[in-house]
Amino acid sequence: MQESPATCQVLNLGAGVLFRQGGQSAADLPAYAVASAQNGDEIWLGDYRIQFDLPLSNRSVQTSQVVEATLEFPNAILRPDLVTAGRIFIRHVGPQPTCQFQVTLSGLPAGCVQVDPLPLLFSGGAGEAGVRLFHRGQSPRAGFHDLTITITAPETYPGEQAVLQQRVYVSPVFEQSLELQDDLAGARLAQPTVMVEPPPAAPQVTLPAEPDILPTAWEAAAIPAPQPVRVGEPAPKPKLVRNPSENFWDGE
């Protein structure tokens, strides 16, 4: 069994395998035969039943008597900035000689889907049209969506329509941001604040005033008394008084 996002290919490697497809009665799957399994199909292996649960598969919701339609989406996952492509195959089986079919899509925002116009088909003719799905980043929203495709011909076959449904998955968009923080800022703020007080001022000491030093009696006797000076006479020559400790014979 080989699995893809939307369908599974089943290969029978032995005998005794019953394959129930599309809700119909189970039929024998020949040895080495390959079958395409859709969502809800079953395989019977003796007493065991295996049911296929394919969330990204497509199915026919409503059939028409004038048009046959199938849908093919190899990869029904929408990824950012990428285009998911599929194809619609139709066949004109109505009685009118020609018909211009129209295709409308719903289930996704209008700006996220695009479908090519179908060609003018003669009775019994077949044609195809491309379908493209776009991931716009923020649109559509992430998750599973059911894409509904409706095929009509209002001018040629009023009231007739074929409806197909495809489940798609929109991948989320992750946004990253980088923020740098100073891990030391909190530590610095958490440190205790130390208050430093200035040293106390030294006390002021008032020193007593120094007493006036009076000359001794010997020093007072050594100071000559002022001599009167007459006008016109030369000033008397000062007398040299020596200290008793000095040599008497030093000088005159």
Instruction: Summarize pLDDT for 184-218 with one digit per residue, the tens.
Output: 665 565 666 667 777 777 777 676 666 666 666 65
Q: Is 138 left (phi over 0), alpha (psi -120 to 50) or beta?
A: alpha
Residues 224-248: tens digit of each pLDDT: 666 665 666 666 665 555 555 555 5
The topology under which CATH files domain 58-170 is: Immunoglobulin-like (2.60.40)
Cα within 13 Å of Cα(78), Cβ side: 27
Ranges of each domain in the chain: 2-51, 58-170
pTM of the model: 0.56
C-alpha distances in Å from residue 108, one per residue of 62, 115, 158, 178, 223: 20, 13, 26, 33, 130
> Cβ(162)–Cβ(92) under 8 Å?
no
Tell me the one-letter amino acid at 105.
Answer: L
